[in-house]
A and B are shown apart, each in its own frame.
Chain A
Amino acid sequence: MQISQDPIVWLSAFVTLSILSFVFWNDSPFYNYVQSAYLGVAAGVTVVVGWSNIKNQVITPLMNGNYSILIPVFLGLLLLVRYIPGLNWVARYPVAVLVAGGAGLGLANTVQAQFVSQIKAGLLPLNSFDNILMFVGLLAVIAFFFLTGRTTHVMEKLKLGWVTRLGRIVLMVAFGASFGTTVMGRCSILIGRLQFLLTDFLGL
């Protein structure tokens, strides 16, 4: 065992242990201090990176004579007007431009990306066990969501209620897989910090 001599590693170890202390002692002064420090550092980094972005995106083009950049700058400044009482309605214009631009950009490809391609991928040739399982699961889940209310009553009368129940089971399996991988993700984060403490800090 060779404990690190690097003050940065010691600081990182202190921060890690302070955050982990929440698990055993809930709100400890160490936890609260580190939490606030993290927020402060993150805000500081964001300001620095933001400034560098303004420099590259606004100041340099302006110095090179690209005055069209003043239009988005003007719209951006209008966003800050919302803090001026009586004039805050003006900020709705840049927000409208942002929302309209975002919606236009997103919607243009959404139908193809999230509907058409996924529907096409669902229409599988039924030539393997995997494909049959996926196709039956897909139909059952669709039935679970659509055959509700009066339709469900009709389905029960036709002795087809098992389709919606199968859909519920398929959904539960999917949620189970999501939960399993969520646990895996959380474990990975903890293992990452333990690796740091054991190797970088303690030198084991």
Chain B
Amino acid sequence: MKNLFNPDKRVTYFLLLLVMIIPLINPLGIAIKPSTNTLLAYDYVENLKPGSSMILFIDYGMGQSAELTPQVLASLKHYAAKGLKLFAATQVPEMATALTSYLDQTYKAANKEYGVDYVDLGYFAGAESAVGAMGDSIIDVFKADVYGTDLTKLPIFKDVTKLPDIDVMFAVTASGTIPFIRQANTKFGMPIIFSVNAVMGPANVPYVQSGQAVSVLVGSTGAAEYETLIGQPGTASAAMDAQSLAHLVIILLIVWGNIGYFMEKHAAKHE
């Protein structure tokens, strides 16, 4: 009886793997309904005029890529379709190459012109201090793009020299939203769309209510909802069936464990 309610952890992992793999091979087609938060981000971008500017900050490592990259790709596809000018940078060294690949899959694939419609600023050191310094001059912080081109020679910098010149910030982070709020929203009133990993979701959604963020897209669910809104289902949408089934199994396991706990307690009482 004890083993039945407290199985080897490998049994639990195997069960979870099974319920994840089956829907990935045979999708169940569970409907994805966009949440208020995702709608807020989507509608905000929809209402921007073509030619508006957006700055993207990638602030997560490869470990969070499965969760956050689908959000980046879905959002960038939307921004490219809306004709937003994009300034992209990362504060994580290992993500510099990944950032170039994201821009290739979205802006370049949408036939946007490099240096005119978008620019890859690559990695920057200094975290919050650097974001603060961008408030005075983006050109002074980066000096050159990822290919070594002097930023003053790129047409995209004709009307944009500092952070407040840009219309919206899209910060994809797994480390914290506060540095961006402090240096961009509090200082310049800059609207920010956040994309965070699921762990950070509940702690950061209050920033939407306080008006310090336009929206907070949370985890792969947020990505799947965004993919649904732009009408381009991607990896996140495909993962939602597996995600739902995995959650169901986890809930059943918690209930199962609790039944075992109370039965054991009951048995001990009557011994």
**A contacts, CB < 8 Å to B:** 23-24, 42, 45-46, 49-50, 52-53, 55-57, 60-61, 101-102, 105-106, 108-110, 112-114, 117-118, 120-121, 174, 177-178, 181-185, 187-195, 198, 204
Contacts and interface: CB of A to CB of B under 8 A. Distances in A.
Contact of B129 (A23, A102, A109, A181): A102
27 contacts: A23-B13, A24-B13, A42-B94, A46-B94, A49-B122, A50-B125, A105-B183, A109-B186, A112-B186, A117-B211, A118-B210, A183-B250, A184-B243, A185-B197, A187-B16, A187-B20, A188-B66, A188-B220, A188-B243, A189-B63, A189-B64, A189-B66, A190-B66, A191-B66, A192-B66, A195-B235, A195-B239
Contact of A184 (B10, B123, B124, B221): B221
Contacts of A188: 66-67, 198, 219-220, 239, 243
A108 to B, nearest CB: 8
A102 B94 CA distance: 24
A195 B238 contact: yes
Interface in B223-259: 235, 238-239, 242-243, 246-247, 250
B49 to A, nearest CB: 28
A187 B249 CA distance: 12
B25 interface: yes
Given A102-B129, A188-B198, A50 B93 contact: yes
Given A50-B93, A191-B243, A195-B238, A185 B210 contact: no
B162 to A, nearest CB: 16
B144 interface: yes
B198 A181 contact: yes
Nearest to A42: B94
Contact of A194 (B13, B21, B128, B143): B21
B105 to A, nearest CB: 15
Nearest to A193: B66
The winner among B20, B66, B97, B243 for most chain A CB atoms within 10 A is: B66
Interface residues of B, number: 59
Interface of B: 10, 13, 16-17, 20-21, 24-25, 63-67, 93-94, 96-97, 122-125, 128-129, 132, 142-144, 148, 178-179, 181-183, 185-187, 197-199, 201-203, 206, 209-212, 218-221, 235, 238-239, 242-243, 246-247, 250
B182 A198 contact: no
A57 B218 CA distance: 34
Contact of A23 (B10, B94, B206): B10
A183 to B, nearest CB: 6
Contacts, number: 141
A105 B203 contact: no
Contact of A52 (B123, B186, B210, B218): B123
Which 9 residue pairs spanning A and B have beta carbons closest together? Answer: A192-B66, A121-B210, A185-B198, A49-B93, A188-B220, A109-B182, A181-B198, A109-B186, A188-B67
